[in-house]
Amino acid sequence: MAMIVGGVGTTHVPSIGKAIAEKKHNDPYWKPFFKGFDYVHYWLARTRPDVAVVFYNDHGLNFFLDKLPTFAVGAADEYRSEDEGWGIPVSRPIPGDAALSWHLINALVADEFDVTMCQDMLIDHAVTIPMALMWPGPVWPVRIVPIEINTVQHPLPTLGRCLKLGRSIGRAIESYPQDLRVMVVGTGGLSHQLDGTRAGFINKDFDALCLEKIVSEPEALTRYSVHDWVSLSGSQGVEFLNWIAMRGAMTGRVSELHRNYHIPISNTAAATVVYDNQRQMQRKAA
Q: What domains sit in the chain, N to C, each tagged with a CATH number?
A: 3-276 (3.40.830.10)
Average confidence (pLDDT) over 10-36: 94
Q: What are the b/e assignments for 188-211, b being 16+ CB within 10 Å? A: bbbbbbbeeeeeebbbeebbeebb
Average pLDDT across the chain, whole number:
94
Q: Are strands 116-118 and 78-79 parallel, antiparallel or unpaired?
A: unpaired
Task: Give yes or no for a contact between 191 and 201, defined as CB atoms under 8 angstroms apart.
Answer: yes
Distance CA 83, CA 108 (A): 31
Enzyme catalytic residues: 125, 192
Residue pLDDT, tens place only, 240-275: 999 999 999 999 999 999 999 999 788 899 999 999
Q: Measuring CA to CA, which residue among 125, 131, 43, 139 is closest to residue 88?
A: 125
Are 229 and 196 in contact by the 8 Å Cβ rule? The answer is no
Between these two residues, 103 and 87, which has the higher pLDDT value?
A: 103
Confidence bin at 281 (pLDDT 50/70/90): low
Whether pLDDT at 283 is above 80: no
Question: Could you tell me the pTM of the whole model?
Answer: 0.95
Decide if pLDDT at 180 tops 70.
yes
